[in-house]
Amino acid sequence: MATEMMAYINNLKINIKVREPLELYPEMWHHFCHILSRRDYIIYWEGEVYGTGILTSGRGYRLNGTLVVGQEQDSLGGTFAISQVLQGDIAQLSIWDKQLTPAEIKDMANCLATGRGNAFSLDTATINMLGNIVVSSLQIHNFCQKVSQYLVLPERRSVTASLQQCHLLNASMTVPSSTQENERLRNTLAPFMDSCDSTPWKFWLGVTDEMQEGAWIDLNGNRSLKYENFVSPYPYGGSSENCAALLPDGTWADAKCSLKKCSSCELHSYDYLYLRGLCFENEHQTRFRMQGHLEGRPLFHGYYDLLIIWRNDVAQWILVNSDNNTIAYMSPNDVTKYPLGLNNWTTQSLICGAYIGAILKLSLSSCTLYQFMCRTGECIAHEQRCDLRHDCQDGSDEDECDVVYLSEGYRNHLPPPGVGNAPLELALNFTLTRFAAVDITKMSITVEFQVSISWLDSRISFSHLENAINRAVLTMEDIDKIWLPEYRLLNLEGGKVELLEQVVQVNSALNPQLPDVNAVKLDLMYPGADNELTLYQDYLANFACFFEFLTYPL
């Protein structure tokens, strides 16, 4: 997690202590403000103090030079590298010869003030543009306006299936909330009108009145609608037509929810998916967004140089890079299926150490590292994993519920190492349960007792401990994987001993570790170095015992 931001002033590096990691989202405007005083450097993000630093070179700057915007320079008048060009948009760039107040900064961040600097303003200055630059003008309020994006699902589905598909895409089923949004949705859907349905009822909307006739609610959150666009004779009403579809002219009509029609999802700039199973270096590289359509189907655009596109000629989802080279492909069993959830991809280029033609398991979903991903791409809480209940629709949360995971090179005939160079420490307890018999003729006793031995094994990791209240009992399959302490029982009479029961358990669920950003199996892991194992063995045994009697019988 990033805790510092780097800045260079007068070619000297300044470390900025930040309060929390910075989240930047594509196609969203963000407001930065840099305040340089005599000794302090303050960064404002979205109108609030984000980080602070100390200036070591004063605040004097060379004049009569050139202000370069959108290109990092290694020194004054230094080298310009294409890899260090700003890839994005910049607006309202201003410089003041005074320190702005927090209130002034907040007003600019909230689009309540234009924020033109008295020393320089991008709005009014004469500038020379080099490279492929597009200039446009916006009203100040547009920088604070959160505009959603509509993604058309051109496959025909029922309302329930459409709602589920939108949620798997980390989006909501579209519900316009104003005349302007309704018209923008109609314009987005216009290219798909002819291909989606031969009837006037073209696209499902995410609304229903099934709960109460005439009381239309948003399916995404069961909220009452503030905007409707039914025009007579719609809605027909009745108990069978409880969903609404968009007509070509933008008005709404009610229809049976079980009918299959096209639909659309509403996405925001901060809605994205994660592609896992490759060899990305950081979490940002795993992020993908739905953006536009190609060959009539949604396009999945990576934050960096990868795309997932649909190819009609081969009926495959293709993972390509920015040079249009195919990396891998997936052939779905159902052509209406999207590349969501866990799927087998066939490589067509050397990638992540895999040869051409190798099978890679890749997952695409909205699940964060703090969630478990079902095989279909649904996300559930880690606490619902392996809890003996089907929380995933496909039941995959109850698959592969082994608790023990061994490190590479693990040997179960070798004892685990101790702390440092010290031998392994074992904690031994003996509990006498009962005397089953006393034989004074054979001078022996028969007893039931329990031996428990506890230890730590740093070579092991555990999973699925979230639901263990006090302990997690290992299965026989897990027990067979690991090293167990061995010991001898002495003074046995005729070697008679019977193992009644054996249990191995993990005594705690401490220090859970999040999965790697490339892991397709999103399980928490608990290090063996922090979570103790205990072996419990219950016995019935005969021991030789020398009795000394003063008088007999008593």
Give the pLDDT band of residue 278 (cuts 50, 70, 90). very high
- Domain boundaries for CATH 4.10.400.10 within the chain: 371-399
Which residue intervals of the chain bear CATH 3.10.100.10?
149-267
Q: What is the mean pLDDT of residues 97-112?
A: 92
- Tell me what pLDDT residue 57 has: 63
Q: Which CATH architecture does the domain made up of 4-144 adopt?
A: Sandwich (2.60)
149-267 fold: Mannose-Binding Protein A; Chain A (3.10.100)
Give the model's confidence band at 475: pLDDT under 50 very low, under 70 low, under 90 confident, else very high. Answer: very high
With bands split at pLDDT 50, 70 and 90, how would you rate the model's confidence at 1? very low
pLDDT, tens digit (0-9, with 9 covering 90-100), for 70-89 = 888 777 677 778 778 888 88
Asked if 472 and 462 count as a contact pair (C-beta separation under 8 A), the reply is yes
Percent of the chain whose pLDDT exceeds 70? 95
3-state secondary structure string across 525-537: EEECCCCCEEEEE
Range of lowest pLDDT (237-241, 262-266, 455-459): 237-241
pLDDT for position 2: 52
Give span(s): CATH 2.60.120.200, the chain.
Answer: 4-144
pLDDT band at 550, cuts 50/70/90? low
Q: What percent of the chain has pLDDT over 90?
A: 65
Task: Check residue 242 and give its pLDDT.
Answer: 95
- Name the more confident of 144 and 375: 375
With helix as H, strand as E and coil as C, how does 213-253 read?
A: CCCCEECCCCEECCCCCECCCCCCCCCCCCEEEECCCCCEE
- For residue 471, the Cα-to-chain-centroid distance in whole angstroms is 28
Q: What CATH number does the domain located at 406-544 have?
A: 2.70.170.10
Q: Is the pLDDT of residue 463 over 90?
A: yes
pLDDT score of 61: 66
Confidence at residue 33, expressed as pLDDT on a 0 to 100 scale: 92
CATH 2.70.170.10 placement within the chain: 406-544
* Architecture of the CATH domain 371-399: Irregular (4.10)
Q: Which helix (H) or strand (E) holds 479?
A: helix 476-481
Tell me the CA distances in angstroms from 14 to 5, 72, 432, one per residue in order: 8, 16, 67
Q: Residue 408: which residues within 8 A CB-CB, separation 6 or more?
A: none
Mean pLDDT of 272-298: 93
Q: What pLDDT shows up at residue 110?
A: 92
